[in-house]
């Protein structure tokens, strides 16, 4: 298994887990309150995480263009998450995971850019 495959499975697994937690976990609901975000924003975030996870995972097996789109979306989502962490003045340990997922998904996105077949940018 190569680094790209590991990144794909790490990203899709993590976002599936966090997407579910975002929708059902009281701890995550409390975190969103701490972030200054409301319930609809939490639900939207959870749904986007689940869609991104499914897009990266299913695209890996069936449609590379889907991996590109989903990983680009997750990159943006995590970039906004990192910005929220900075805005509320979380420390480095609290902020670092979101930035690491920015880098992982940006890597996936860039690696799949050359293999685009349906989308021409």
For residue range 53-87, list pLDDT tens digits in order: 999 999 999 999 999 999 999 999 999 999 999 99
In a domain, 118, yes or no: no
Domain that holds residue 109: 3-113
> Does residue 64 lie within any of the structural domains?
yes
Q: Is residue 89 part of a domain?
A: yes
Q: Nearest to residue 31, comparing CAs of 104, 88, 105, 100?
A: 88
58: left (phi over 0), alpha (psi -120 to 50) or beta: alpha
Q: Is residue 53 classed exposed, middle or buried when 0-12, 13-18 and 19+ CB atoms within 10 A define those classes?
A: buried
- The answer to whether the beta carbons of residues 68 and 119 sit under 8 Å apart is yes
Answer whether residue 44 is part of any domain: yes
Domains of the chain: total: 1
1 — pLDDT class (breaks 50, 70, 90): confident
**121 within some domain:** no
Q: What are phi and psi of 116, to 5 degrees?
A: -60, 135
* Average pLDDT for 15-39: 97
User: Is 21 part of a structural domain of the chain?
Assistant: yes
Q: Is residue 120 part of a domain?
A: no
Provide the whole-model pTM. Answer: 0.93
């Amino acid at each position: 298994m190569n680094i790209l495959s590991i990144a794909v499975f790490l990203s899709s697994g993590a976002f599936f887990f966090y997407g579910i937690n975002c929708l059902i976990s009281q701890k995550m609901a409390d975190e969103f309150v701490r972030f200054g975000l409301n319930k609809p924003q939490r639900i939207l975030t959870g749904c986007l995480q689940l869609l991104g996870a499914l897009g990266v995972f299913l695209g890996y097996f069936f449609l590379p263009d889907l991996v590109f789109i989903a990983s680009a979306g997750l990159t943006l989502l995590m970039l906004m998450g990192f910005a929220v962490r900075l805005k509320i003045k979380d420390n480095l340990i609290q902020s670092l995971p979101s930035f690491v997922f920015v880098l992982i998904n940006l890597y996936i996105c860039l690696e799949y850019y050359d293999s685009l077949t349906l989308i021409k940018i």
